[in-house]
Amino acid sequence: MHPGPASPSAVPPTAPAALRGADAGVTSGRRGTRGAGAGAHGSPAHPGDPGHAAVEVRRSHRRRRTVTAYRQEGRTIVLIPASFSAAEERRWVAQMVAKLETREDRRRRTLGSDEDLMARARVLSQAHLGGVLPASVRWVDNQNRRWGSCTPADRTIRLSSRLRGMPEYVVDYVLVHELAHLLEPAHDDAFWALVGRYPRAERALGFLEGVESRLGAAPADGDDTD
């Protein structure tokens, strides 16, 4: 994935770099779902919480009602208001971890295998790219600075397993981005015009940028276009 051109008809120029190990999170509030706050102070981890080896709780004086949870480098980060009691902390940590696991399980069932990815690539290509098809599409665990990569020479596409659990439209965007490389290997205007055919491209980019900014990720080197 690579920054695109500044064009109102194409993808915005700030296509995000892949980060080192963060997945999208969930946010809840005492009176419904709200936007996430900022500025957290760490609390001891919860090594005994279900489903994951470590849960790190960060308290924030800026938060009043919202609670946010996300994955980062094998840990679960839970952001809570500083005013929470110990009992509230335990209750919200358990609830937010359960929400994350439910969403991730649902996502794994939806696109759990390489065959599922290939089938989705076919649908997206027919809808937006004229039916161009790769030789293979697969999940990989070793892409820590890229969301996806494509090698046009052998028509192979790889998606980072860190995308698992993210919204379907985000995974679709990464698939369209890599499929477009089969038609236009370079990140030129023609390439971004192809990517811009996906109607939720800008929204997906904003989502990925939000994930990256949470960790202050540095730009990646670009796509594998050997």
On whether residue 10 sits in a domain, the answer given is no
124 and 51 share one domain:
no
Q: What is the pLDDT of residues 11-42, one digit of tens each?
A: 443 454 433 233 445 555 543 323 333 344 45
* Distance linking the first and last C-alpha atoms of the chain: 14
pTM of the model: 0.55
60 and 106 share one domain:
yes
Final residue of a domain: which of 88, 110, 132?
Answer: 110
- What's the average model confidence in pLDDT over 191-197? 96
128 and 51 share one domain:
no
Strands 75-81 and 55-60, by their bridges, are: parallel
**Cβ–Cβ contacts within 10 Å for residue 35, how many?**
8
On whether residue 2 sits in a domain, the answer given is no
67 and 105 share one domain:
yes
On whether residue 98 sits in a domain, the answer given is yes
On whether residue 163 sits in a domain, the answer given is yes
The count of structural domains within the chain is: 2
118 and 211 share one domain:
yes
What's the confidence (pLDDT) of residue 70? 86
131 and 210 share one domain:
yes
Final residue of a domain: which of 63, 91, 110?
Answer: 110
**H or E element at residue 55:** strand 55-60
104 and 118 share one domain:
no
The Cα–Cα gap between 118 and 22 comes to 24
CATH no. for residue 195?
A: 3.30.2010.10
118 and 208 share one domain:
yes
Final residue of a domain: which of 110, 125, 145?
Answer: 110
What's the confidence (pLDDT) of residue 158? 97
The Cα–Cα gap between 183 and 191 comes to 8
Q: What is the pLDDT of residues 40-90, one digit of tens each?
A: 445 444 444 444 448 999 999 988 888 988 887 778 899 999 999 999 999
126 and 211 share one domain:
yes
87 and 173 share one domain:
no
104 and 135 share one domain:
no
**Residue ranges making up the domain that contains 187:** 114-215
